[in-house]
Structure 1
Amino acid sequence: MTPDAEFGYELLVCRYAELAWHPSDGPRPAVVSRQLGTEERRWDTVVIEVDPAAFAARRAFGERTVDSDLLHVVRNAPAEWAWYRDALPHPGYPWRYVRRAVHRAAGRDLIEERRDGNRIELRRLRPYPDWVERIVAVENKPDLDRSAADRLAGQLAHDVGTGLADEAWLATETTGERVEPALLRELPVEAGILATDFSEGVRADAAEVAWHPSDLAPAGDGERDPETETLRLEIAERAYGKGWRSFREAMRPDCRHFELRREGRALVPYCAAKEKVPTGRECSGACAEFSPEPPKWRTKGWPIEGGPGKGVAALLERRRERERDRVERVE
Structure 2
Amino acid sequence: MTPDAEFSYELLVCRYAELAWHPSDGLGDDLRPSIVARQLGTKERRWDTLVIEVDPAAFAARRRFGDRTMDSDLLHVVRHAPAEWAWYRDALPHPGYPWRYVRQAVHRTAGRDLIEKRRDGNRIRIRRKRPYPDWVERIVAIENKPDLDRSAADRLADQLAHDVETGLADEAWLATETTGERVEPALLRELPVEAGILATDFSGGVDADAADVAWHPSGLAPAEGERRDPETETLRLEIAERAYGKGWRSYHETMRPDCRHFELRREGRALVPYCAAKEKVPTSRECSGSCPSFSPEPPQWRTKGWPIEGGPGKGFKRVLARRRARERDRAESVE
- TM-score of the superposed pair, with normalisation by structure 2: 0.98
Identity, % of aligned positions: 86
Identify the residue that residue 199 of structure 2 maps to in structure 1. Answer: 195
Q: How far did 1:220 drift?
A: 4.6
Report which stretch shifted further, 188-197 or 218-227.
Answer: 218-227
What SS class does the counterpart of residue 56 from structure 1 fall into?
helix
Alpha-carbon displacement from aligned partner over 1:121-171 (angstroms, at most 9, x marks no partner): 000000000000000000000000111101100000000000000000000
Q: Does 1:227 align with 2:212?
A: no
Counterpart pick for 2:148 among 140, 144, 147: 144
The residue that corresponds to 2:11 in the other structure is: 11
Structure 1 residue corresponding to 2:108, chosen from 101, 104, 108? 104
AA at the equivalent of 1:249: E
Residues 278-331 of structure 1: per-residue CA shift (max 9 Å, x gap): 000100001111000011110012111210000000100000001101111101
Q: 1:55 corresponds to which residue?
A: 59
CA–CA distance in 1 between the matches of 2:59 and 2:222?
24
CA distance in structure 1 between the aligned counterparts of 2:102 and 2:328, rounded to whole angstroms: 30
Corresponding residue for residue 41 of structure 1:
45
The reply to whether residue 275 of structure 1 matches residue 279 of structure 2 is yes
State the alpha-carbon separation in 1 of the partners of residues 109 and 13 from structure 2. Answer: 34
Q: Which secondary structure state, in structure 1, belongs to the residue aligned with residue 148 of structure 2?
A: coil
Unaligned stretches of 5+ in structure 2? none
- For 2:237 and 2:205, the matched residues in 1 are separated by 32
SS of alignment partner, residue 40 of structure 2: strand
> 5+ unaligned residues in a row in structure 1: which ranges?
none
Which residue pairs with 1:122 in the alignment?
126
> Deviation of residue 115 (structure 1)?
0.2
Q: Distance in 2 between matches of 1:223 and 1:60?
A: 28
Kindly indicate whether residue 164 of structure 2 is the aligned counterpart of residue 160 of structure 1: yes
Secondary structure of the 2:80 match is coil
The answer (yes or no) to whether the contact 1:3–1:276 under 8 Å persists in 2 is no
Q: 2:329 aligns with which of 300, 305, 325?
A: 325
Runs of 4+ in 1 over 4 A off after TM superposition: none
Match of 2:320 in 1: 316
> Secondary structure at 1:75's aligned position in 2?
helix
Deviations 1:42-63 (A, max 9, x none): 0000000000000000000000
Correspondences of 1:221-260 after superposition (within 5 Å): 221-260=225-264
* Partner residue in 2 for 1:85: 89
* Residues 232-278 of structure 1: per-residue CA shift (max 9 Å, x gap): 00000000000000001000000000000000000000001001100
Tell me the distance in 1 between the aligned counterparts of 2:225 and 2:239.
Answer: 23
Q: Tell me the SS of whatever aligns to 1:186.
A: coil
Q: Distance in 1 between matches of 2:227 and 2:19?
A: 29
User: Across the two proteins, how many residue pairs are aligned to each other?
Assistant: 331
**Following the alignment from structure 1 to structure 2, what is the Cα–Cα distance between the partners of residues 111 and 296?**
45
Letter in 2 for 1:76: H
